[in-house]
Amino acid sequence: MPRTARIDYPDLLQHVIVRGIERKDIFLDDVDRIAFFRRLSLLLVETRTECLAWTFMRNHAHLLLRPRRAKLSTFMRRLLTGYAVSFNLRHRRTGHLFQNRYKSIVCEEEPYFLELVRYIHLNPLRAGAVNGLDALDRYPWSGHAVLMGVVDLAGQNTAEVLDRFGGSTRGARAAYRQFVSDGAGQGEREELCGGGLRRVVKTGIDKEPHIYDERVLGSGEFVQELLGESLISSSDPSILPLEILVEKVAEVFGVTVEEIRQPGRGKAVTDARSLISYLGFKRMGYTGEAVARIIGITRSGVCRRSTFGEDLYRTDDGLRELFP
């Protein structure tokens, strides 16, 4: 099965999971953990990537990151490649250390932000690496200890987490700690490690499409927002990014993208808008607002034009072959 392209754009909250190849250990001792910790901290500061939560386990690591400047793929390549080289030299081994592909999930910040912070920081307790919350407070290989003021990691954004609990720093830490304690008995939460299967589901009175994506942890509305901003595309080959759809339709009707987006009522331009409205809105599941924005008309215009576009599509064998 082909790999799905990552969603890799600045300012998106990403839950990253790194595992050892064949689930083997990636940290053999504290010297390894210190090496990874230092490399992580340096890269966070250098690339202005925010880390909201993290934990190191024996054979895997969790990171909750928000890249601001560098792409996540660039950040992770530098982090993992550099660490693997030093690990292999130190332990006199060769070959891959990590699974070929780390897992990254784009996360809707509300309501998942604090749930992810808690889930990630409770990993050592769930796995039995520490015995109780007091020990977790002092555990140096989790961002929880940073939030509690015991450990310092340059690049970890503690303010954003603690600010959600209000009050003074001391009061916010106490409230955050209670929040973590309240979740200690939840066990594994697989839903926080990946989104739903990608599909288009029509629900509600208006039958508006709601789209879900395995690369995203969030609501259908959140996925639609990403689609509307052309940050993601579906694995279904018939669902093109909107920009590509407009370019292909423009070519079919012998007009330019600029002509489609500018006011004009020529037949070729009108037909192009109609087909884009039908394919984008009714068949591919983009929101009416997203389609309207990219072709320069109103949402109600997209609804009207999609009816004409459907007639064009169903009566033209060539269009059905080009856009199956």
The domain spanning residue 295 has which CATH number? 1.10.1750.10
pLDDT, the chain, mean: 86
Q: What pLDDT was estimated at residue 61?
A: 97
- For residues 241 and 235, what is the distance between their CA atoms, to the nearest angstrom? 11
Tokens representing residue 243 in the block: 């920009």
pLDDT in tens, 126-148: 999 999 999 999 999 999 999 99
- For residues 114 and 126, what is the distance between their CA atoms, to the nearest angstrom? 18
pLDDT band at 202 (very low <50, low <70, confident <90, very high): very low
Pair 166, 213 in one domain: no
Tokens representing residue 74 in the block: 């660039």
Q: What pLDDT was estimated at residue 209?
A: 46
- For residues 166 and 176, what is the distance between their CA atoms, to the nearest angstrom? 10
8 in any annotated domain? no
pLDDT band at 291 (very low <50, low <70, confident <90, very high): confident
Q: What pLDDT was estimated at residue 152?
A: 95
1 in any annotated domain? no
List the domain range (segments joined by +) for residue 265: 199-322
Nearest to 65 by CA among 135, 157, 139, 132: 157
Domain boundary at 125, 159, 191, which? Answer: 191
Pair 130, 61 in one domain: yes
Pair 187, 130 in one domain: yes
Identify whether the C-beta of residue 226 lies closer than 8 Å to the C-beta of residue 7.
yes
179 in any annotated domain? yes
Pair 129, 246 in one domain: no
4 in any annotated domain? no
Q: What pLDDT was estimated at residue 211?
A: 59
pLDDT in tens, 155-184: 999 999 999 998 899 999 999 999 999 998
5 in any annotated domain? no
Asked if pLDDT for residue 72 goes beyond 60, the answer is yes
pLDDT band at 10 (very low <50, low <70, confident <90, very high): confident
Pair 67, 103 in one domain: yes
Pair 128, 41 in one domain: yes
Identify whether the C-beta of residue 280 lies closer than 8 Å to the C-beta of residue 303.
no
Domain boundary at 167, 191, 215, which? Answer: 191
pLDDT band at 216 (very low <50, low <70, confident <90, very high): confident
Asked if pLDDT for residue 29 goes beyond 50, the answer is yes
Q: Are strands 216-217 and 199-203 parallel, antiparallel or unpaired?
A: unpaired
What is the arithmetic mean of pLDDT over 104-112? 90
Asked if pLDDT for residue 213 goes beyond 60, the answer is yes
Asked if pLDDT for residue 206 goes beyond 60, the answer is no
Asked if pLDDT for residue 1 goes beyond 50, the answer is no
Pair 168, 235 in one domain: no
Asked if pLDDT for residue 314 goes beyond 70, the answer is yes
128 in any annotated domain? yes
Q: What are phi and psi of 51, to 5 degrees?
A: -110, 125
Domain of 144, CATH number, reads: 3.30.70.1290
Pair 127, 23 in one domain: yes
Asked if pLDDT for residue 203 goes beyond 50, the answer is no
Asked if pLDDT for residue 4 goes beyond 80, the answer is no
pLDDT band at 37 (very low <50, low <70, confident <90, very high): very high
Q: What pLDDT was estimated at residue 200?
A: 43
Nearest to 192 by CA among 42, 14, 11: 14
Asked if pLDDT for residue 36 goes beyond 50, the answer is yes
Pair 176, 239 in one domain: no
Pair 146, 39 in one domain: yes
Burial 179-196 (b: 16+ CB within 10 A, else e): bbeebeeeeeeeebeebb
- For residues 113 and 222, what is the distance between their CA atoms, to the nearest angstrom? 14
Identify whether the C-beta of residue 228 lies closer than 8 Å to the C-beta of residue 293.
yes
Percent of the chain past pLDDT 90, that is, above it, reads 51
pLDDT band at 212 (very low <50, low <70, confident <90, very high): low
Domain boundary at 134, 168, 191, which? Answer: 191
252 in any annotated domain? yes
Identify whether the C-beta of residue 253 lies closer than 8 Å to the C-beta of residue 271.
yes
Pair 168, 219 in one domain: no
Counting the structural domains of the chain, the total is: 2
Pair 108, 245 in one domain: no
Q: If you search the block for the tokens 């009050």, which residue do you land on?
A: 167
90 in any annotated domain? yes
